[in-house]
Amino acid sequence: MNLILSAKNLTRSCYALVTILYFTVSQASADWQLNMREGVTEISRAVYDLHMVIFWICVIIAVIVFGVMLYSVIYHRKSRGAKAHNFHENVYVEIAWTVIPMVILIGMAIPATGTLIKMYDAKEADIDIQVTGYQWKWRYQYLESGVDFFSSLATPAEQISGEAEKTENYLLEVDNPLVIPVGKKIRFLITANDVIHSWWVPDFAVKKDAIPGFINESWAVAEEPGIYRGQCAELCGKDHGFMPIVVEVKSEQDYQTWIKQQQLAQAEKAKSAEKRWSLDELMVTGKEVYDKSCAACHQANGEGIPGAFPALKGSPIVQGDPAAHIDVVLNGKAGTAMQAFRDQLSAAEIAAVITYERNAWGDSLGDIISPSKIAKLKQ
Amino acid sequence: MSTSTEQLVSSESKTHDTHHGPAKGISRWFYTTNHKDIGSMYLWFSLIMFITGGSMALMIRAELFQPGLQFIEPDFFNQMTTMHGLIMVFGAVMPAFVGLANWMIPMMIGAPDMALPRLNNWSFWILPFAFSMMLMTFFMQGGAPNFGWTFYAPLSTTFAPPSVTFFIFAVHMMGISSIMGAINVIVTILNMRAPGMVMMKLPLFVWTWLITAFLLILVMPVLAGVVTMMLMDIHFGTSFFNAAGGGDPVLFQHVFWFFGHPEVYIMILPAFGVVSEIIPTFARKKLFGYSSMVYATSSIAFLSFIVWAHHMFTVGMPLMGELFFMFATMLIAVPTGVKVFNWVATMFRGSMTFETPMLFAIAFVVLFSIGGFSGLMLAIAPADFQYHDTYFVVAHFHYVLVPGSIFSIMAGVYYWLPKWTGNYYDEKMGKLHFWLSFIGINITFFPMHFVGLAGMPRRVPDYALQFADFNAVSSVGAFIFGISQLLFIYNVVSCIRKSNQASDKVWEGSHGLEWTIPSPAPYHTFTQPPKVD
């Protein structure tokens, strides 16, 4: 029974089991990625190098310490007739194994300090983007060009519940990705609207907490065009696992084209409040908006989650005076998880979703909230 | 150490027993002021909490076995992670060490009991009520706390379920219990040592507990403060953690981690003590570097107060703050390294045997060191931006807490069980329990390093497909580990029941006052102080 413990044995048993499982686990589509990604910025590569250096230092120390231990376990055992020696103190040895680790640590601290100083230098950025965390989506505001949009999970609910096959970028895909140009210094001004979130893109080695009421800075220069995916890293409530980040790095020219398109689309959206909407049109748009922005808490059937998120179906606000209903949606409710949707949704979208809430789930009040009315209230 | 008093003590306490035995029936446990009874109650309580918290962990791992949502809703998943953490930290690990302290400290220093026996009774009996209140929240509207065991504001204030108030009250009660327990330990050690038991002769378990007790007294009030601030924010309209009212959510984190970092040493220092008792016994060689062990423990305790913000590298502290906390954190590796080197040097040229406590102790040294290595990696602030809040962190703290604290508690239980019950446990079953736990734990937690580095955040109920394989492996390991703990219960219960008479010395290489009294230890010991040379 005197098996020997060692790091080797440990990893060997791990690998053995891993191999067995590889053939038994159904989801074999995944890769067995072991290490951190190097990423696509100068900083992310520096971080990767630091990670590897400290890792190998640990491995070397482990080999020495566990080696001595293993040697003792094998050779200094009673069953082999080993007699216990009597030494139990040696000041020189104690000094040695205090000083040597100190020296190693100082050697490690120097490059780490250098990288940290670089990471903190967010000066002279080419583009400033404000990143705001909401429960449970991200908002991106381009301070120079005025582009402003929300980015939320695009994976359909059927894939999460297992009713549909999961696709390649399961949980790592969004409706509107953040778009940035290649080779430009982008400064991210990170904050939050409700609770603390954390904006993390592993390929940029950027992870910064998004804190309500405060603005944090971070920056990146992406060196290669491509799509980079990350996730919210700070527990932010129920759907913390469902608010991914997708960054599309485009060439300068494509980026400019994209910005123009966005500005045009935004202007279009603002105008949509002026046209007359029918009840059916409002209901269709309203359902889309509801499923995207409201259903996470109030649930698709409007029944909410008792104790956590109130039901809308049969609620006095939904059935009562439209003005009170509009006020809650526009301005949120202080001290609760109910957000202000004034800036999140267009006037038409707000009108549509309120109309939807007042007419869905058998409540049919027949009310039509007109987008133009909301547009006036929003000003 | 003295053996001359052995006869005196045993004959004296035998006659004493017939007069002053334990009370009969259930009232024995309610009214007892006996350190052995209270120690046993702490240990049983901790075992129940360990099973409770463990079942929650298994629910988490079942949900994470495959991508997609299978068994539980995201909100309930968050309740599981929160309560698993709280119960394991405050319900399983801390009470277990207090239980060991209650049993062993008086017996190790030659005292008849703890210095404040009534306080001792009360500090235990608060706990079942505190945890009943905590578990009750599952049945309340909105469910149990779901904001993580670190309960960051404003998720735990403005956005919390109504049950948060009960959680706050439960934390207050646990805090009171811990502070009273710590006062008792300090007073006992400083005042009740047998003649000749000078400080630098104290067994290391006593030393580490003395230092732990000071940590407890210093930081539990801070925890009480932070939950009180939450209570004020929730019910009395203050804005400590609400930026809209002039407060700062990051203030919460600073206050919490000022408690939280010493807290993690509260959970590991007594473990160091247990291991420092066991390794010399089974290596049949004196502990190497006794005094450097004491100094190392003290420096770790001191450093624990100036490193708290390494849990918060990503909150956007100024560069200078970031650097300070990085350097201070790296420094901890030095005294911790000294301890590991000392244990290895104790084994070196010893005459080792590998009974169950020794197996757990050796596994502790190896696996705790692995947790220490990942801790050193986490200390490097730029690299921490990639590790922070990923499964790499989950792997790290489970390596120091499960094969660290929990293994040391199990090592201690197997080591002292023959002294407590008078019977040897079944060595074969003990070893089986060890090997299943050892294998289970590594299968569970080692792959978490990989998914963390690959980019999987912690506290998510569902994950991207690339993390699927290692998560399945982890879940299998968790069930191996979880189920093999039933063996532990079996081993303890059968050791109490069956008679395989243990000698007074119990182990061939044991040394210290606790081994001079009979097995099982009589209800009252050292009513006459032994003399220590």
- Is residue A53 a contact partner of residue B508, using CB atoms and an 8 Å limit? no
Q: What is the mean pLDDT of chain A?
A: 87
When pLDDT is averaged across residues A211-226 and rounded to a whole number, the result is 95
Residue ranges of domains in chain A:
7-15+32-80+88-119, 127-269, 275-378
pLDDT at B368: 97
Q: What's the pLDDT tens digit per position in B61-88?
A: 999 999 999 999 999 999 999 999 999 9
Q: Which of A22, A170, A217 sits opposite B469 (nearest CB)?
A: A22
- Is residue B63 a contact partner of residue B69, using CB atoms and an 8 Å limit? yes
CATH code that applies to domain A7-15+32-80+88-119: 1.10.287.90
d(CA B192, CA A62): 41
pLDDT at A19: 55
Helix axes B319-347, B290-303, angle to 10 degrees: 160
- Does residue B110 come out as left (phi exceeding 0), alpha (psi in the -120 to 50 range) or beta? left
Q: Which of A27, A76, A230 sits opposite B351 (nearest CB)?
A: A76
pLDDT at B167: 97
Q: What's the pLDDT tens digit per position in B10-44?
A: 444 444 444 567 778 888 999 999 999 999 999 99
Q: What's the pLDDT tens digit per position in B112-134?
A: 999 999 999 999 999 999 999 99
* Most A CBs within 10 Å, among B69, B392, B466, B481, to test the A interface: B466
Put simply, the answer to whether A73 touches B389 (Cβ < 8 Å) is: no
When pLDDT is averaged across residues A116-126 and rounded to a whole number, the result is 93
Put simply, the answer to whether B154 touches A105 (Cβ < 8 Å) is: no
Residues of B in contact with A120 (CB under 8 A): 319, 322
- Judged against a pLDDT cut of 70, whether residue B6 lies above it is answered with no
What is the DSSP code (8-state) at residue A141? E
- Judged against a pLDDT cut of 50, whether residue B8 lies above it is answered with no
Nearest-Cα residue of chain B relative to residue A50? B383
Q: Which of A37, A119, A213 sits opposite B382 (nearest CB)?
A: A119
* Most B CBs within 10 Å, among A43, A69, A247, A331, to test the B interface: A69
Whose structure tokens read 């990767």? Answer: A48
Q: What's the pLDDT tens digit per position in A300-345?
A: 888 888 777 888 888 888 888 888 888 888 888 876 778 888 888 8
Return the amino acid letter for A162: G
- Radius of gyration of chain B, Cα coordinates, nearest whole angstrom: 23
- Is residue B495 a contact partner of residue B269, using CB atoms and an 8 Å limit? no
- Judged against a pLDDT cut of 90, whether residue A282 lies above it is answered with no
When pLDDT is averaged across residues A116-122 and rounded to a whole number, the result is 94
Put simply, the answer to whether A237 touches B447 (Cβ < 8 Å) is: no
Put simply, the answer to whether B337 touches A195 (Cβ < 8 Å) is: no
d(CA B343, CA B325): 28
pLDDT at B20: 64
Q: Is there a catalytic annotation at residue B178?
A: yes
Judged by DSSP in three states, A32 sits in coil
Nearest-Cα residue of chain A relative to residue B79? A238
- Judged against a pLDDT cut of 70, whether residue B5 lies above it is answered with no
pLDDT at B14: 46
Q: Which of A85, A116, A305 sits opposite B381 (nearest CB)?
A: A116
Chain B: nearest CA to A97, how far in angstroms?
A: 7
Q: What is the mean pLDDT of chain B?
A: 94
Indicate the pLDDT class of residue A364, thresholds 50, 70 and 90: low
What is the DSSP code (8-state) at residue A185? E
Q: Is there a catalytic annotation at residue B505?
A: no
Put simply, the answer to whether A69 touches B381 (Cβ < 8 Å) is: no
pLDDT at B254: 97
Q: Is there a catalytic annotation at residue B336?
A: yes
CATH code that applies to domain A127-269: 2.60.40.420
Put simply, the answer to whether A213 touches B69 (Cβ < 8 Å) is: no
- Judged against a pLDDT cut of 50, whether residue A4 lies above it is answered with no
- Judged against a pLDDT cut of 90, whether residue A88 lies above it is answered with no
Distance from the first to the final alpha carbon of chain A: 78
pLDDT at A358: 86
Q: Is there a catalytic annotation at residue B276?
A: yes
Residue B168, classified by CB atoms within 10 Å of its CB into exposed (0-12), middle (13-18) or buried (19+), is: buried
Domains, chain B, ordered by start: 6-515 (1.20.210.10)
Q: What is the ipTM of this complex?
A: 0.90
Chain A: nearest CA to B359, how far in angstroms?
A: 9
pLDDT at A294: 87
State both tokens at B216. 């407890």
For residue A230, list its beta bridge partners. A245
Q: Is there a catalytic annotation at residue B265?
A: yes
Catalytic residue among B81, B178, B297, B304: B178
* Residue B125 neighbours by CB under 8 Å, 6+ apart: B30
State both tokens at B99. 């239980």
Q: What's the pLDDT tens digit per position in B328-366?
A: 999 999 999 999 999 999 999 999 999 999 999 999 999
d(CA B250, CA B157): 13
Indicate the pLDDT class of residue A363, thresholds 50, 70 and 90: low
* Most A CBs within 10 Å, among B84, B159, B284, to test the A interface: B159
Nearest alpha carbon to residue B48 among B104, B99, B87: B87
- Is residue B220 a contact partner of residue B179, using CB atoms and an 8 Å limit? yes
Catalytic residue among B2, B336, B346, B444: B336
pLDDT at B2: 44
Judged by DSSP in three states, A139 sits in strand
Q: Which of A50, A66, A84 sits opposite B366 (nearest CB)?
A: A66
Q: Is there a catalytic annotation at residue B374?
A: no
Q: What's the pLDDT tens digit per position in A341-357?
A: 888 888 888 888 888 88
Put simply, the answer to whether A94 touches B338 (Cβ < 8 Å) is: yes
Q: Is there a catalytic annotation at residue B35?
A: no
When pLDDT is averaged across residues B152-180 and rounded to a whole number, the result is 95
β-pairing verdict for A148-151 and A226-232: unpaired
> How would you write A203-230 as a 3-class SS string?
HHCEEEEECECCCEEEEEECCCCEEEEE
Put simply, the answer to whether A238 touches B74 (Cβ < 8 Å) is: yes
Residues of A in contact with B152 (CB under 8 A): 195-196, 234-235
Return the amino acid letter for B347: M
Nearest-Cα residue of chain B relative to residue A209? B315
- Judged against a pLDDT cut of 50, whether residue B449 lies above it is answered with yes
- Judged against a pLDDT cut of 50, whether residue A218 lies above it is answered with yes
Quickly list DSSP for B56-79.
Answer: HHHHHHHHTTSSS--SS-HHHHHH
Put simply, the answer to whether B345 touches A93 (Cβ < 8 Å) is: yes
* Most A CBs within 10 Å, among B234, B252, B354, B393, to test the A interface: B354
Put simply, the answer to whether A25 touches B469 (Cβ < 8 Å) is: yes
CA trace torsion B242, B244, B247, B248 (10° rounding): 70
CA trace torsion A46, A51, A53, A56 (10° rounding): -160
Put simply, the answer to whether B468 touches A115 (Cβ < 8 Å) is: no
Nearest alpha carbon to residue A144 among A284, A9, A263, A53: A263
Question: Which of A68-75's residues contact partners 24+ apart within 8 Å by CB, and which partners?
Answer: A68/B344, A68/B348, A69/A6, A69/B344, A69/B347, A69/B362, A69/B365, A69/B366, A70/A4, A70/A6, A72/B344, A72/B347, A72/B348, A72/B349, A72/B350, A72/B352, A73/A4, A73/A5, A73/B347, A73/B352, A73/B362, A74/A4
Nearest-Cα residue of chain A relative to residue B362? A5
β-pairing verdict for A178-181 and A244-250: parallel
Catalytic residue among B36, B172, B193, B339: B339
- Judged against a pLDDT cut of 90, whether residue B214 lies above it is answered with yes
Nearest alpha carbon to residue B309 among A209, A146, A324: A209
Q: Could you tell me the fold of the domain covering A275-378?
A: Cytochrome Bc1 Complex; Chain D, domain 2 (1.10.760)
* Residue B2 neighbours by CB under 8 Å, 6+ apart: B196, B513, B516, B530, B531, B532, B533
Q: What's the pLDDT tens digit per position in B395-427?
A: 999 999 999 999 999 999 999 999 999 999 999
Q: Is there a catalytic annotation at residue B263?
A: yes
Put simply, the answer to whether B68 touches A161 (Cβ < 8 Å) is: yes
Q: How many CB atoms lie within 10 A of CB B324?
A: 16
Put simply, the answer to whether A207 touches B388 (Cβ < 8 Å) is: yes
Q: What's the pLDDT tens digit per position in B216-244?
A: 999 999 999 999 999 999 999 999 999 98
pLDDT at B504: 93
For residues B362 and B498, which has the higher predicted lDDT (pLDDT)?
B362
- Judged against a pLDDT cut of 90, whether residue B532 lies above it is answered with no
For residues A22 and B190, which has the higher predicted lDDT (pLDDT)?
B190
- Judged against a pLDDT cut of 60, whether residue A5 lies above it is answered with no
